[in-house]
Structure 1
Amino acid sequence: MNSFSRSIDLLQREMNVANLRYQVTANNLANSEVPNFKRSTVNFESELKRAFDSEEAAKNAFHLTTTDPRHIQINTPYDYREVEPRRVLDYTTTSKANGNNVDAEYEANNILQIQMQYRLLTQLTDFEFDQVNTAMKK
């Protein structure tokens, strides 16, 4: 996969994750007064980093030849395209007397942050395509 395709793929995936984060955060905010409701978050970047780290490690690693699909493979890179965002439920904390752990102010700020991140991701995507257009004109 070339650099442009990988960049666009990563930007598109991150935009999808930002969209999911927005939905999860809006759900948290909407349920901020529901008794015993527990907030959720979205985990994606840490798994993505793990996939990239495994790609780097596999470049310099010792590789074994496998002749059967049942053989155990070692040092096989974790493909970043297989990384999926995970919803994580925070069931360990309680910040209100009714058992709810949603801080409405924090969630509202989180929505603003997600919106700014999404806007940045769209600008980065535009920049990538502008680079291609510039290269094609020359």
Structure 2
Amino acid sequence: MLKNSFQKIDLMGKALSGSWQKNSAISNNIANVNTPGYKRQTVNFEEVLKNQMNYNQSVTMTKTNPKHIASAYTEDITAETISDTSYRVDGNNVDIDVENAEMAKNTIYYNTVVNEVNGQFSRLKTAFRINK
């Protein structure tokens, strides 16, 4: 039980880290809304998180030959620049309304995960107090 609890907390920590990176990218987009030629950035940490949730710790893949297929499991959360669109004549592709909506959505997500981490620690604290 204890191992499972700490694995959940670790996963939620990674979710918070990804959400924080997404928040930084959105903030940069908003700050550069009037910068000619600026291309918006996005962080799609949800897919990395989904892979980590589905990754089975009991089965490890070992690549013994360069021709072997690599595991789908990855820990890299990266920012991606969206350069194939432009909404304005100056080449900027930041839509302030979309960025504000993404910021609100990401803030709600972040706060929800923080509340869940606090709840998990509270449950652990209660369990330790009962077992004294």
Q: TM bucket by the smaller chain?
A: 0.7 to 0.9
The answer to whether 1:120 aligns with 2:112 is yes
Q: Which runs of 5+ in 2 are unaligned?
A: none
Aligned residue-pair number? 127
Q: Which runs of 5+ in 1 are unaligned?
A: none
Query: Partner of 1:41: helix, strand, or coil?
Result: strand
**Aligned alpha-carbon RMSD (Å):** 2.8
What is the rounded CA distance, in whole Å, between the counterparts of 1:5 and 1:12 in structure 2? 10
Indicate the residue corresponding to 2:34 in structure 1.
33
- TM-score w.r.t. structure 1 length? 0.77
Query: Partner of 1:27: helix, strand, or coil?
Result: helix
Query: Partner of 2:76: helix, strand, or coil?
Result: coil
Indicate the residue corresponding to 2:65 in structure 1.
72
Q: Percent same amino acid among aligned pairs?
A: 23
Indicate the residue corresponding to 1:17 in structure 2.
18
Indicate the residue corresponding to 1:98 in structure 2.
90
The answer to whether 1:131 aligns with 2:123 is yes
CA contact (8 A) 1:33 1:100 kept: yes
Indicate the residue corresponding to 1:84 in structure 2.
76
What is the rounded CA distance, in whole Å, between the counterparts of 1:104 and 1:114 in structure 2? 15
Residue type at the aligned position of 1:114: N
TM-fit CA distance, 1:30: 0.7
TM-fit CA distance, 1:121: 1.0
CA contact (8 A) 1:55 1:77 kept: no
CA contact (8 A) 2:38 2:92 kept: yes
Query: Partner of 1:72: helix, strand, or coil?
Result: coil
Change (3 A) 1:3 1:31: same
TM-fit CA distance, 1:51: 4.3
